[in-house]
């Protein structure tokens, strides 16, 4: 009987070991899962804490270039000044602009930007009246000019002011008008649209005056 009991006990131990071995197949999986789960939890904790600090660092680092870019662009936009209007950029014409029977006569000179770009114009044009007595240079009136930017197709004007010949004599016959835009050397010669002659005078006062760009008409000074 003792031998039978030992055999039964040994069989039970063997059976238990078999069951333990079967359960061992699942045990590593569960252990691995647990290990994976437990190891992923700290990783998630790190990734959650890292973005809290990194975005702040990134926003200060990446934000600076974004803030600098508009400043550079705006500086480039406002700092870029249009090139001045050259003679070849302009269509220049002259017309009589005298109002009523005023003693001082006026010729308006139009300078139209015919180019496909903006250009700036400032100051006084060079003006000479071609006469039977030679060229008569125009004197500049005491007026200021802040400058004008002409868009493509946009005009500006200035006035030529003079006294007409009312002496009854031939006076100084005017044959033409020469206009040179400000800061330019190339001139244009136009037909004179005003009175045909100026009075002959020994007065030290100039017989012909001009205003700056953007001024035209009588009484402007």
Each residue's pLDDT tens digit, 91-114: 999 999 998 777 889 999 999 999
pLDDT band of residue 62 (cuts 50, 70, 90) is very low
pLDDT band of residue 203 (cuts 50, 70, 90) is low
Cα gap 149→128, rounded to integer Å: 25
CATH of span 87-210: 2.60.40.10
pLDDT band of residue 17 (cuts 50, 70, 90) is very low
Instruction: Give tens-digit pLDDT for 136-153.
Output: 999 999 998 889 999 999
Question: What residue segments make up the domains of the chain, in order of their start?
Answer: 1-80, 87-210
Rounded percentage of the chain residues whose pLDDT exceeds 90: 44
Mean pLDDT over each residue of the chain, to the nearest integer:
73
Q: Which residue has the tokens 């990194």?
A: 54
Buried b (16+ CB within 10 A) or exposed e, 146-155: eebebeeeee
Cα gap 152→136, rounded to integer Å: 33
């Amino acid at each position: 009987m003792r031998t039978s009991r030992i055999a039964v006990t040994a069989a039970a131990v063997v059976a238990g070991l078999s069951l333990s071995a079967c359960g061992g197949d699942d045990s590593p999986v569960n252990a691995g899962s647990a290990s994976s789960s437990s190891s992923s939890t700290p990783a998630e904790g790190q990734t959650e804490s890292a973005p809290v600090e990194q975005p702040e660092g990134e926003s200060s680092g990446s934000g600076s270039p974004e803030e600098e870019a508009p400043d550079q662009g705006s500086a480039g936009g406002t700092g870029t000044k249009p090139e001045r209007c050259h003679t070849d950029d302009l269509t220049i014409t002259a017309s009589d602009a005298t109002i009523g029977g005023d003693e001082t006569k006026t010729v308006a000179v139009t300078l139209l930007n015919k180019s496909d770009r903006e250009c700036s114009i400032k100051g006084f044009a060079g003006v000479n009246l071609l006469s039977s007595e030679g060229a008569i240079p125009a004197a500049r009136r005491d007026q200021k000019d802040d400058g004008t930017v002409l868009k493509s197709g946009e005009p500006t004007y200035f006035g030529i002011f003079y006294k007409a010949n009312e002496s009854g004599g031939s006076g100084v016959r005017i044959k033409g008008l020469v206009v040179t835009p400000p800061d330019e050397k190339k001139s244009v010669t136009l037909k004179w649209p005003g009175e045909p002659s100026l009075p002959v005078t020994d007065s030290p006062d100039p017989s012909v005056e001009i205003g700056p760009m953007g001024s035209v008409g009588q009484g402007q000074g």
